[in-house]
Structure 1
Amino acid sequence: MGGLGLASETVTDHVAVITDSTACLPEHLIQQWGIKVVQMQLQVAGRVDDEHRFERAELVEALRAGQPVATSPPDAGAFFWAYQDAVSAGATAIVSLHISSRMSATIQAAHQAAQQIKIPVYILDSAVLGMSLGFAALSAARTAAAGAQVQRVVQAAERRYKTSTELIYVDTLEYLRRGGRIGAASAWLGSAFSIKPLLTVREGEVAPLARVPGTRRALARMADLAVERASGKPVDIAILRFGAPDERVEEIAERLRARMPEIQDSLLLEAGTIIGAHVGPGALGITVSPA
Structure 2
Amino acid sequence: MSVVIVTDSSSRLPASLLDEHGILQVPLYLTTEDGTSYAEGVDDMPDDIITTPKVTTSGANLRDLQKTYAQAWELSDGDGVVAVHMSRRLSGTWSAARLAAENMDGQVRVVDSRSVGLSVGLTTMAAVQAAEKGADRDGAYEAAVRAAATAESMICVQALDNLRSSGRISAASHMLGSALAIKPILHMADGILTLRERHRTSTKAIAKMLDAAVELAEDEPVTVGIQHCRNPELAESVLEQAVERIEKVTSTIVVDLGAVLGTHVGPGAVGITLGHGLDPLS
User: Given the two structures, how large is their TM-score scaled by the length of structure 2?
Assistant: 0.92
Deviates most, 142-151 or 113-122: 113-122
Write the distance in 2 (CA, Å) between the matches of 1:117 and 1:18.
14
Write the mapping of 1:156-195 to structure 2, written as runs, cut at 5 A.
Answer: 156-195=143-182
Change (3 A) 1:149 1:88: closer
Tell me if 1:42 matches 2:12: no
Asked whether the equivalents of residues 137 and 157 of structure 1 are also in contact (C-alpha less than 8 Å), the reply is yes
Runs (5+) with no aligned partner, structure 1: 1-12
Relative to structure 1, is the Cα distance of residues 205 and 29 closer, same or farther in structure 2, using a 3 angstrom cutoff? same
One of 40, 43, 47 as aligned partner of 1:51: 40
- In the TM superposition, residue 230 of structure 1 has moved relative to its aligned partner by 0.4
> Aligned match of 2:11 in 18, 23, 33?
23
Report the secondary structure of 1:128's partner residue: coil
In the aligned structure 1, how far is the partner of 2:15 from the partner of 2:144? 19
Residue type of the alignment partner of 2:268: G
How far, CA to CA, are the matches of 1:125 and 1:170 in structure 2? 25
Matches within 5 A, 1:119-130: 119-130=106-117
User: What is the CA RMSD across the aligned residues, in angstroms?
Assistant: 1.7
Equivalent of residue 56 in structure 2, options 70, 77, 84: 70
In 2, distance between residues paired with 1:78 and 1:267? 28
Partner of 1:9: none
Distance 2:54 2:257 in 1: 20
| Structure 1 stretch displaced more, 107-116 or 153-162 | 107-116
Residue 60 of structure 1: CA displacement?
3.4
* 1:187-266 matches, cutoff 5 A: 187-244=174-231, 246=233, 248-266=234-252
1:14 Cα deviation after fit:
3.4
Residue of structure 2 in register with 1:140 after alignment: 127
Please give the secondary structure, in 2, of the residue aligned with 1:97.
strand
- State the identity %: 32
1:184–1:206: 8 Å Cα contact kept in structure 2? no
Q: Distance in 2 between matches of 1:119 and 1:100?
A: 21
Query: For residues 233 and 126 of structure 1, what CA distance do their matches in structure 2 show?
Result: 21
Note closer, same or farther for the CA distance 1:56–1:161 as it changes in structure 2 (3 Å cut): farther
Secondary structure of 2:220's counterpart equals: coil
Contact 1:128/1:204 (8 A) holds in 2: yes
Partners of 1:174 and 1:214 lie apart in 2 by 16
Match of 1:81 in 2: 67
Q: Which amino acid aligns with 2:74?
A: S
1:186 Cα deviation from its structure 2 partner? 1.4
Q: Gaps spanning 5+ residues in structure 2: where? A: 278-282
Distance 1:236 1:184 in 2: 30
Give secondary structure in 1 for the equivalent of 2:158.
Answer: coil
Deviation of the 1:116 alpha carbon:
2.2
Shift of 1:276: 0.6
Report the AA paired with residue 48 of structure 1. Answer: S
How many residues are matched? 274
> What residue identity is the alignment partner of 1:14?
S
Match of 1:105 in 2: 92
- Asked if structure 2 preserves the Cα contact closer than 8 Å seen for 1:197 and 1:218, the reply is yes
Indicate yes or no: 2:102 matched with 1:115: yes
